[in-house]
């Protein structure tokens, strides 16, 4: 059997590795559009910042056993009926590759505003290794540079951090009211403060409408008329699924143009599976597909696509959109639904915001953290959680306790029963998670007693 995988980033390589783990005799080919198999795209900001000195370190792995890797060999067409893929070799020649099973792991591409084009010499995206090399070279070219970042999501935030570390004067423009729209505005303003404290000029509700070229630099124009000069313009305006190959092959697309897949990662076409940033992702809580490209999800989906392509029958457990970002000295994470999403999907949410020290204050180094708990007023069911605090306050894995609770659809009340670890340097006898749950329950009871349902 020959499994042909289009794309060699997280999902594609995870699929290939899983197949080889289960059935070493199966022939596996991975076709890459570039020459960087399984690089950590999430690591690009740290390469730019200099925290990661050598880009080679970004490779998740460099050994692929007997998986056949085709470098710089994009797949230009697939004939699903005849099970043949067409690739374009580095020398330009087209090759036909017959296969038994196909896995599409074509990833995503930057979603840029019309007037921003990464072909312009000083406009940059940050999605591929080549992007990273371009930014790195530009940043290293001279001192005193100014950067304008368009986009207030986590990539924009990480780039603001990275470019500030490299000594650039950074302006960040976000179209949203607060930064990091994946968390509630109450946390977004803290992130904004963190950026400001490190010298980043932040503008929110900034709708960028154009780009002017002025002798070697670019000027970003806001709808308001405000203009921002930059030697570098970094577009961190999100991504969209790379699904043109799939569409041309007759594979059905769904939300946001992502490939429609079952929880088995099967497409509508026989013998064609898909995984990663190019597919719809099953949301565990909402029990429906959404477009939520995340590296963690890509690895999981790729592994399942690989297993099922060779006859397995595993279902993807679903995503909760669990995510964490480090911005300067702050860690911010979220899992499940934020308040406005919970409303949007028909829940009746109550969200509380609890501050607690990360560990007993009598032990040195205690720092306050904040936990937001979103749960349904009627059922008490946990819908989502957000945590924010010092980056060394175990924010990420504390969030994961809540993500694990959410995975099991726990109520807020049941969180109190969790037997979590405690020693004064690491926690409090009731962990901040417990304290946040108690806070939610108290607030909920108080509001019930008053017969009102205001939002906090």
Q: Does 398 bind its own copies (CB under 8 A)?
A: yes
Among 8, 12, 188, 321, binds its own copies (CB under 8 A): 321
Q: Name which of residues 19 to 58 contact its own copies (CB under 8 A).
A: 21, 40, 42-43, 46-47, 51-52, 57-58
- Which tokens go with 342? 């919970």
Residue of 386, 377, 372 lying closest to 347 (CA atoms): 377
Here's the x/- map for its own copies, 2-21, by CB under 8 A: it reads as --------x----------x
Among 288, 442, 453, 455, binds its own copies (CB under 8 A): 442
Nearer to its own copies, 212 or 315 (CB): 315
Among 324, 367, 411, 435, binds its own copies (CB under 8 A): 324
Contact 234/217 with Cβ under 8 angstroms? no
Nearer to its own copies, 208 or 401 (CB): 401
Catalytic member of 42, 84, 217, 420: 42
Nearer to its own copies, 89 or 445 (CB): 445
Q: Dihedrals φ, ψ of 58, to 5°?
A: -75, -10
Cβ burial 335-344 (10 Å sphere, 16+ → b, else e): bbbbbebbee
Bridge-based pairing of strands 323-327 and 330-336 is: antiparallel
Q: Name which of residues 255 to 314 contact its own copies (CB under 8 A).
A: 284, 295-300, 303
Contact 251/269 with Cβ under 8 angstroms? yes
| Cβ neighbours for 95, distance < 8 A, ≥ 6 positions apart | 73, 86, 87, 88, 89
Here's the x/- map for its own copies, 349-368, by CB under 8 A: it reads as -----------xxxxx----
Query: CB of 46: closest distance to its own copies in angstroms?
Result: 6
Helix axes 395-407, 432-450, angle to 10 degrees: 60
Query: CB of 396: closest distance to its own copies in angstroms?
Result: 4
Among 222, 390, 422, 435, binds its own copies (CB under 8 A): 422
Q: Does 207 bind its own copies (CB under 8 A)?
A: no
Among 400, 411, 435, 447, binds its own copies (CB under 8 A): 400
Nearer to its own copies, 208 or 320 (CB): 320
Site size toward its own copies (CB under 8 A) is 71
Sign of CA dihedral 362, 365, 367, 373: negative
Give the binding range for its own copies (CB under 8 A) out of 212-220, 224-232, 272-280, 405-413.
405-413
Q: Does 408 bind its own copies (CB under 8 A)?
A: yes
Contact 355/372 with Cβ under 8 angstroms? no
Q: How many CB atoms lie within 10 A of CB 417?
A: 9
Measured distance CA(143)–CA(162) in Å, rounded: 15
Q: Does 109 bind its own copies (CB under 8 A)?
A: no
Q: For 60-86, give the DSSP string.
A: S-S--TT-EEETT--EEEEETTTTEEE
Residue of 453, 455, 450, 283 lying closest to 372 (CA atoms): 455
42 is catalytic: yes
Give the binding range for its own copies (CB under 8 A) out of 27-35, 171-179, 218-226, 395-403.
395-403
Positions annotated as catalytic residues are 42
């Amino acid at each position: 059997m020959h499994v042909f995988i289009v794309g060699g980033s997280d999902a594609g390589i995870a699929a290939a590795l899983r197949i080889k783990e289960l059935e070493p005799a199966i022939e596996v080919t991975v076709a890459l559009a570039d020459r960087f198999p399984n690089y950590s795209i999430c690591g690009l900001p740290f390469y730019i910042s200099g925290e990661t000195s050598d880009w080679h370190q970004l490779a998740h792995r460099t050994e692929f056993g007997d998986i056949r890797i085709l470098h710089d060999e994009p797949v230009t067409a697939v004939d699903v009926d005849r099970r043949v893929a067409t690739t374009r070799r580095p020398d330009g020649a087209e090759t036909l590759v017959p296969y038994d099973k196909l896995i599409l792991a074509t990833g995503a591409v930057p979603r840029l505003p019309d007037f921003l084009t990464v072909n312009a010499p000083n406009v940059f995206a940050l999605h591929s290794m080549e992007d990273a090399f371009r930014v790195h070279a530009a940043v290293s070219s001279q001192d005193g540079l100014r950067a304008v970042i368009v986009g207030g999501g986590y990539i924009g935030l990480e780039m603001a951090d990275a470019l500030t570390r490299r000594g650039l004067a950074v302006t960040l423009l976000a179209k949203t009211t607060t930064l990091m729209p994946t968390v509630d505005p109450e946390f977004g303003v803290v992130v904004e403060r963190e950026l400001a404290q490190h010298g980043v000029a932040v503008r929110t509700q900034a709708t960028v409408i154009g780009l002017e070229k002025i002798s070697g630099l670019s000027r970003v124009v806001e709808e308001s008329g405000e203009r921002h000069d930059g030697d570098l313009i970094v577009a961190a305006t999100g991504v969209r699924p790379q699904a043109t190959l799939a569409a041309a092959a007759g594979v059905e697309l769904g939300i946001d143009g992502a490939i429609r897949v079952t929880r088995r990662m099967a497409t509508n076409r026989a013998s064609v599976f898909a995984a990663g940033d190019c597919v719809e992702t099953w949301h565990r809580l909402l029990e429906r597909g959404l477009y939520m490209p995340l590296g963690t999800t890509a690895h999981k989906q790729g592994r399942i696509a690989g297993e099922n392509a060779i006859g397995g029958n595993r279902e993807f457990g679903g995503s909760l959109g669990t995510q964490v970002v480090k911005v300067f000295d702050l860690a911010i994470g979220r899992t499940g639904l934020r308040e406005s999403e919970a409303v949007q999907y028909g829940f009746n949410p109550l969200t509380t915001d609890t501050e607690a020290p990360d560990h007993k204050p009598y032990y040195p180094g205690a720092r306050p953290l904040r936990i937001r708990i979103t749960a349904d007023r009627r059922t008490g069911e946990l819908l989502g959680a957000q945590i924010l605090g010092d980056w060394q306050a175990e924010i990420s894995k504390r969030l994961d306790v809540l993500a694990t609770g959410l995975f099991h659809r726990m109520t807020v009340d049941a969180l109190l029963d969790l037997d979590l670890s405690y020693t004064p340097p690491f926690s409090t006898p009731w962990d901040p998670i417990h304290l946040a749950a108690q806070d939610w329950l108290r607030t909920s009871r108080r509001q019930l007693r008053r017969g009102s349902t205001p939002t906090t």
